[in-house]
Amino acid sequence: MSVHLAITPLDALNRSLGARMVPFAGYAMPVQFQPGIIAEHLHTRAQAGLFDVSHMGQATLAGPEAISTLERLCPCDIAGLAPGRQRYSLLTNAAGGILDDFMVARIGENELFLVVNAGCKDADFAHIAAHLPTGTTLTRHEDRALLAVQGPMAAAVFARFAPESAAMKFMDVTDVVVRGLECGDITVRASRSGYTGEDGFEISVAGTKADALARALLSQPEIAPIGLGARDSLRLEAGLPLYGHDIDTTISPIEAGLTFAINKRRKMAWDFVGGPAMRDLLDNGATRRRVGLRLDGRAPAREGAEIVCADGTTVGAVTSGGFAPSLNAPIAMGYVRTEYAADGTELALMVRGKPLAARVVPMPFVPHRYAR
């Protein structure tokens, strides 16, 4: 029985560029283009890449209680967020587990712009909608695409079309005019952020204008189309967790090393869903921690590989792993018992019954290059 997959506004363009399409979160998405994942990864690190991430969920939360509503559901200090700025945050459950991670931007006094993960968007928006007071609305933007341009040349290229973007800093969000497109000038919502560890922008654009914007960016010599395969290897090198793999409903932000997402003001009252459970874990200590792992040799360890200590006892499991093109070496992240989480700890990862020597190392594996 065939499964119907949704398509993004860039589907025809992706296919015309030779993309290998795969099912992902209910969509047909490009996993790689003809150069291949390693070449795409290294091109993004050296110059800039264009990513179709239109499968992500976009919505506006608006009304006099928009901020207080979302603050009840997440540990983010949204009231302290200046207009034109965004933060990384988490939707959490009563046990302190993570329903999803997402980006929230404050557009106006009582208006928030949300970008959530593709596989969670229906559940996320239903969860938020179930808590809306009268007068506060959640509007999904199914008619919008989302493009990411990432890499050290990303800002210079985007500024050729949107000069206002040059003044933006990391985590700024603003509506800018993009000029010089075949369809004419358009207004897009740009955030100086991304999921690669590189400088760049995520650009929310009307679906009907996405193809024209993508073609204009790809016309620049520094930009190449990049698929989900390289997006995954880039985010792994950057030490960024992937929902459903490195974080989920059973994992607390404390265990995941995401305590920074519980902003200082919110730690005063812990008055959000899951707050008491997180406070208890922070006060009494977590029994496991997310760590980075550098493997000896060339063989990678994939998700699910057991992590063992010197005597062969299982002390954790890999949640993401693969070959790091920037380092020319295999890396992984996973959870280990807290007593094995210190940098430099010698461990082994079990791959097809064979232990591969590894050690705990700091993350990110490759330094972030955000425009702070």
316-325, pLDDT tens digit by residue?
999 999 999 9
Residues 208 and 316 in one domain: no
Residues 147 and 231 in one domain: yes
- Distance, in Å, from the CA atom of 256 to the CA atom of 239, rounded to the nearest integer, reads 11
295 belongs to a structural domain: yes
342 belongs to a structural domain: yes
Give the β-pairing of 223-226 and 48-52.
Answer: parallel
Residues 36 and 169 in one domain: yes
Residues 6 or more apart in contact with residue 313 via CB below 8 angstroms = none
pLDDT tens for each residue of 72-99: 999 999 999 999 999 999 999 999 999 9
165 belongs to a structural domain: yes
Residues 300 and 155 in one domain: no
Is it the case that residue 2 has pLDDT exceeding 80?
Answer: no
17 belongs to a structural domain: yes
- Distance, in Å, from the CA atom of 295 to the CA atom of 348, rounded to the nearest integer, reads 8
Q: For residue 7, what are the CA distances in angstroms to 27, 107, 128, 224, 360?
A: 6, 28, 25, 21, 40
Contact call for residues 330 and 297 (beta carbons, < 8 A):
yes
Domain boundary among 197, 218, 237: 237
CA trace torsion 166, 168, 174, 175 (10° rounding): 0
Q: What percent of the chain has pLDDT over 90?
A: 99
- Distance, in Å, from the CA atom of 26 to the CA atom of 312, rounded to the nearest integer, reads 40
pTM flag (> 0.85): yes
Tokens at 320, concatenated: 């993401």
pLDDT tens for each residue of 116-151: 999 999 999 999 999 999 999 999 999 999 999 999
111 belongs to a structural domain: no
End-to-end CA distance of the chain: 49
User: What is the rounded average pLDDT of the residues 2-12?
Assistant: 92
Domain boundary among 210, 237, 264: 237
Residues 198 and 329 in one domain: no
Contact call for residues 158 and 194 (beta carbons, < 8 A):
no
Strands (E) located in the chain: 20-24, 27-32, 48-52, 57-62, 85-92, 98-108, 111-116, 137-140, 144-150, 173-178, 186-191, 200-206, 223-226, 288-295, 306-308, 314-324, 329-337, 346-351, 354-361
Half-sphere exposure of 1 (CA within 13 A, CB side): 1
Full domain range(s) for residue 301? 287-361
Residues 40 and 167 in one domain: yes
Residues 43 and 183 in one domain: yes
Residues 44 and 147 in one domain: yes
User: What is the rounded average pLDDT of the residues 366-371?
Assistant: 98
Tokens at 130, concatenated: 């179930």
5 belongs to a structural domain: no
Residues 208 and 294 in one domain: no
- Distance, in Å, from the CA atom of 331 to the CA atom of 138, rounded to the nearest integer, reads 40
73 belongs to a structural domain: no
Check which CATH number belongs to the domain holding 221 and give it.
3.30.1360.120
215 belongs to a structural domain: yes
User: What is the rounded average pLDDT of the residues 281-288?
Assistant: 97
Torsion angles phi and psi, residue 15, rounded to 5: -65, -40
Residues 183 and 294 in one domain: no
Residues 297 and 232 in one domain: no
Contact call for residues 315 and 326 (beta carbons, < 8 A):
no
As to burial, measured by CB atoms within 10 angstroms (0-12 exposed, 13-18 middle, 19+ buried), residue 309 is middle
pLDDT tens for each residue of 243-274: 999 999 999 999 999 999 999 999 999 999 99
Q: How many domains does the chain have?
A: 2
b or e along 166-181 (b: 16 or more beta carbons within 10 Å of the residue's beta carbon)?
Answer: eebebbbbbebebeeb
b or e along 315-340 (b: 16 or more beta carbons within 10 Å of the residue's beta carbon)?
Answer: bbbbbbbbbbbbeeebbbbbbbbeeb
Residues 224 and 334 in one domain: no
- Distance, in Å, from the CA atom of 182 to the CA atom of 197, rounded to the nearest integer, reads 31
